[in-house]
Chain A
């Protein structure tokens, strides 16, 4: 048993420090890689990555726009983590959410908020499977999630191909490899900008989606922190045996938490594709946005409020990554993200090291407080 001084602030501090160190190591690794690849341009590339996001209002608008779906995917992964599940299926749920939202927008002609609700339903349906299979058949949720990522992608492709009205070609455009432009098909389904575009120098990206995402993050924080439901979910995740002892139905909680996680990812898909700026392209490989939810959640230590900041950070360097071209590929960002995830895989170890360092720094102040 550890007997370290467990100040709540201290725990928070350690989490934040661990994330900052992960980020720093990730960035350093990226920089070294750039130096090896092209020493003369490395400095320029790095500064492009780190400054573009604040460089112009337009870019900052894009940071906020991308942060919304990232935040929701991060919330989704983090929410599942809290219940002891690894939701690697955020991608499939995100795709399903996007599909449901677009059906609502283009086929059913619903307003934007109804489409967003539909996207939650779509993602939630896709979240049922990993939870249900785990609870009923004890199939590992990671395997189910991966399978359903692919099933989801192919299913959406199949359904879109067979619903001609969904495709851009039905609305006057020539291409049939993507969904209809919402500006043509149903402008009322586009998430309102509420005047933000004027504030952001007519940035085409900005709308209220980031505020919706933040509101959802606060809601998730409330559920996890303040409700009996959240209390039960966390108890299951932290100690399944003890939660059983307390009379909590673990299987029910596994399924419910995966449905909620799915709905969050689905909402992310809705927010991204209802902006009116991007059309869903029939994909050949699974969408990356769901996977980006993993570093967002890990950096935030699955804390909903922390997710707001970590998603903004990931979005920020992603926007910066695009600006690194043509000297370097924007994929450099994913290398940094991968390093961050890799470090998070042994987070406990790292936290232990940080804790020791903090103790050394604090020295005498940290007296043993156990009776």
Chain B
């Protein structure tokens, strides 16, 4: 019997989580983004050290300091982002770190034999001499699996293995996983897709917000129950808001296709929707289902492959970022440090980041510093942005909440027709979240169109007038009001409107 017990109270990422893996079982680990799944697995694989708690294997306490140690204990991991050297061959990648040598020279023959044997045994078709850069994502994943098998690992961790695969490839992977189980290997399967769990797992442990919720036998449970465990029943503080005064169409997106940077498939696959003045439309979904690319396509950060975007009747499909901004689009970006702010600029410089070129702030190319100062001070007062030295504070030194407030102040004060807000409350404390929610609703009530992209179901539920569920780059549901469990099913791809999801 193989037992792993992992307990570590304290730090939020994983709060007192116990996980037991039996020999020869497929154990799913389910949870929303940020529930702590990946952290937990990184601890197991030796990439992080836990503050408290212990890991036991076969009843014996072990200390896993690095991946080498994990490997020695027979623990292998397929990372969500593959760890493959692109310009190496498949075989080189598999043997890297555990090479056979003879008189100092690499020996490939026995390695090749072993890889081919494993490949046949488990149906993992690979070409050992192909370069990683030339093969499909599915085959790359098979290489990652072979890497674990080549090291004779007994405990296999799969971190979101299906995120980048096509349906056929997913089917194959499921079959392969069942094969491992029959061989007596144990599998930890991290996912948030319910139907995959129902299809392949024996047991399922659920995490929510860093806490352990429970472990259930798949045979005795339903999707609905899992969904409830994952999402939770906590009711967020309800926000007072008037019923929406929906006006004209502000944003119209038709058949939008955006390519992905991570893999060869399109990330956004023909999305169409409209946003009207005076409503908050929320795009809800689990991370990595095309939201980021959709926003990049809308705001001009990435080129659009096909389809059209119309803002207030004007076609902006191929317009530059600056033009979109002039035409009335404001964008609260997902990553405020990467996009939203120049961290080493002062607060006042950041306040005019989208407007410094307007005549109000410059005269023949010379910045009107008095006007900038006055404007920044106005925004600081109006939006209660707190900082050490007011307008001349370096943005980097401000707290996350106030940085976000500054961005929101800047974007809202532009008087946009459309406000695109991407995860505007990520990583903020309750007070700041509440404030930002109020601002978004105030914008809506002022007759502006708001497009909110969020992973937080509470936020989605309490703010939105309409919810669009995105799953694998497609809009699979459109709701006026929805139950949480219902939403969870759509987000996990178990249901979709129009046609029933393939089992």
Contact = CB atoms under 8 A, between A and B. Distances in A.
State if A and B touch, Cβ cutoff 8 Å: yes
Given A5-B388, A238-B342, A245-B333, A228 B393 contact: no
A54 interface: no
B331 interface: yes
Nearest to A225: B367
Given A228-B362, A239-B342, A245 B321 contact: yes
B397 A370 contact: yes
Contacts of A244: 301, 321, 339
Given A5-B388, A5-B397, A371-B399, A226 B366 contact: yes
B320 interface: yes
A245 B301 contact: yes
A371 B321 CA distance: 33
Contacts of A136: none
Interface in A234-275: 234-235, 238-239, 241-247
Nearest to B398: A370
Contacts of A11: 394
B341 interface: yes
Given A8-B392, A227-B365, A231-B349, A370 B342 contact: no
A2 B397 contact: yes
B322 A247 contact: yes
Interface string B316-330: 000011110100000
A334 to B, nearest CB: 32
A242 B343 CA distance: 9
Contacts of B310: none
Interface stretch (B136-144, B236-244, B352-360, B472-480): B352-360
A6 interface: yes
Nearest to A3: B397
B284 to A, nearest CB: 24
Interface of B: 299, 301, 320-323, 325, 331, 333, 338-345, 349, 353-354, 356-357, 362, 365-367, 369, 386-389, 392-394, 396-402
B335 to A, nearest CB: 8
A7 B400 contact: no
A356 interface: no
A193 interface: no
Contacts of A1: 396, 399-400
Among the interface residues B349, B366, B392, B402, which one has the most CB atoms of the partner chain A within 10 A? Answer: B366
A46 B280 CA distance: 73
A245 B397 contact: no
B200 to A, nearest CB: 39
A235 B365 contact: no
Q: Shortest 4 CB-CB distances between A and B: which pairs? A: A371-B386, A247-B322, A369-B388, A6-B397
A11 B344 CA distance: 11
Nearest to B362: A228
A239 B367 contact: no
A4 interface: yes
Interface string A170-208: 000000000000000000000000000000000000000
Given A231-B356, A245-B353, A371-B386, 5 more contacts: A6-B396, A8-B392, A242-B341, A247-B325, A247-B354
Interface string A1-37: 1111111100100000000000000000000000000
A246 B357 CA distance: 11
B422 to A, nearest CB: 12
Contacts of A243: 342
Interface residues of A, number: 28
A371 B367 contact: no
Interface in A71-88: none
B365 A229 contact: yes
Contact of A2 (B338, B356, B396): B396
Nearest to A239: B342
A239 B322 contact: no
A7 B400 CA distance: 19
Contacts of B396: 1-2, 6
Contacts of B339: 241-242, 244-245
Contact of A246 (B353, B365, B388): B353
A234 B342 CA distance: 9
B400 A242 contact: no
Contacts of B325: 247
A5 B398 CA distance: 10
Contact of A238 (B340, B345, B392): B345
A245 B331 contact: yes
A247 B323 CA distance: 8
Contact of B369 (A2, A226, A229): A226
A50 to B, nearest CB: 35
B331 A7 contact: no
A238 B343 contact: yes
A233 B172 CA distance: 51
Contacts of A228: 356-357, 362, 365-367
Contacts of B349: 231
11 contacts: A6-B393, A227-B362, A228-B356, A228-B366, A234-B345, A238-B344, A239-B344, A245-B339, A246-B354, A247-B321, A370-B402
A210 B349 CA distance: 33
Contacts of A229: 365
B87 to A, nearest CB: 18
Contact of A242 (B338, B366, B397): B338
Nearest to B343: A239
Contacts of A242: 338-342, 353
A175 B396 CA distance: 60
Contacts of A241: 338-339
Given A242-B353, A247-B320, A370-B397, A6 B388 contact: yes
Contacts of B320: 247
Contacts of B394: 6, 11
A106 to B, nearest CB: 37
Contacts of B342: 234-235, 238-239, 242-243
Contact of B340 (A8, A226, A245): A245
A7 B389 contact: yes
A371 B365 CA distance: 35
A242 B395 CA distance: 13
Contact of A231 (B367, B392, B402): B367
A227 B367 contact: yes
Nearest to B392: A8
Interface in A352-371: 369-371
A51 B27 CA distance: 77
Among the interface residues A4, A244, A371, which one has the most CB atoms of the partner chain B within 10 A? Answer: A371
B321 A226 contact: no
Nearest to A229: B365
A3 B401 CA distance: 13
A370 B320 CA distance: 36
Contacts of B388: 5-6, 369-370
B179 to A, nearest CB: 44
Contacts of B299: 245
Contacts of A3: 397, 399
Contacts of B344: 238-239
B345 A235 contact: yes
A370 B403 CA distance: 11
Contacts of A247: 320-323, 325, 354
A252 B433 CA distance: 38
Contacts of A6: 388-389, 393-394, 396-397
Contacts of B338: 239, 241-242
Given A245-B331, A245-B340, A226 B367 contact: yes
Contacts of B400: 1
Contacts of B365: 227-229
